[in-house]
Amino acid sequence: MGKLTVCDHPLIQHKLTHIRDKSTNTKDFRELVDEVATLMAYELTRDVPLQAVPVSTPVTEAVGNVVSGRMLGLIPILRAGLGMVDGILKLIPSAKVGHIGLFRHPDTLEPVEYYVNLPSDATERMLIVIDPMLATGGSACAAIDTLKQRGCVQIKLMCLIAAPEGVAVVQKAHPDVDIYIAALDERLDEHGYIVPGLGDAGDRMFGTK
């Protein structure tokens, strides 16, 4: 089963509380999500491969380690996932960014793919699927399916807040995918919102509604 990591550093929990607060305005919401994404990226990249390189310090010749190039791909699910991309790119500017667009079919309520654009070397990269809210798990599973159908094998899922229901769905469908979240909330309500959650992540991020 995929590992579930709750990135519960005090700074992340502090910022997440302000993100949840309904009185936080759009500008602050966006900035806080960006900052939490940067902090979470630290945990997500804990296992990226390093490459030994020579380095001349003012004192001596030594061998240091640098992160191997061409290793990461960020795959935000449109549209709310976009809000976490820049925060990760601040730490890993060489990451490439692909996009997956999904909408919920009004009759079946199943996610339907309307846009996919991946880096040409996506199959060689460790891909991080990004969606702030892991609610039912439907969108996350559909996005991961899309990547696997195109030959991608190294996939992680990064979310701000997850419902236990969504975690269970992803872990069952994709046991090879590790999940990183900032908080595991109580449950989903009858409308599919995470409780206590933060409301509609896309609307709060982009000031719509």
DSSP 3-state assignment of 63? strand
Check residue 197 and give left, alpha or beta (phi > 0: left; psi -120 to 50: alpha): left
Is residue 123 a contact partner of residue 156, using CB atoms and an 8 Å limit? no
DSSP 3-state assignment of 171? helix
Q: Does 34 participate in catalysis according to the annotation?
A: no
Catalytic residue among 46, 47, 60, 108: 108
CA–CA separation, 65 and 62 (whole Å): 10
Paired tokens of 55: 């380095």
The smaller minimum CB distance to ligand URA, of residues 73 and 197, is found at 197
Q: How many residues bind ligand URA (CB under 6 A)?
A: 10
194 binds ligand URA (CB under 6 A): yes
102 binds ligand URA (CB under 6 A): no
To ligand URA, the closest distance from the beta carbon of 50 in angstroms equals: 36
Q: Does 24 participate in catalysis according to the annotation?
A: no
200 binds ligand URA (CB under 6 A): yes
Sign, Cα dihedral of 114, 83, 136, 198: negative
Q: Does 200 participate in catalysis according to the annotation?
A: yes
197 binds ligand URA (CB under 6 A): yes
Chain residues that interact with ligand URA, rule: CB under 6 A? 80, 133, 135, 192-194, 197, 200-202
Annotated binding site for 5-phospho-alpha-D-ribose 1-diphosphate: 79, 104, 131-139, 200
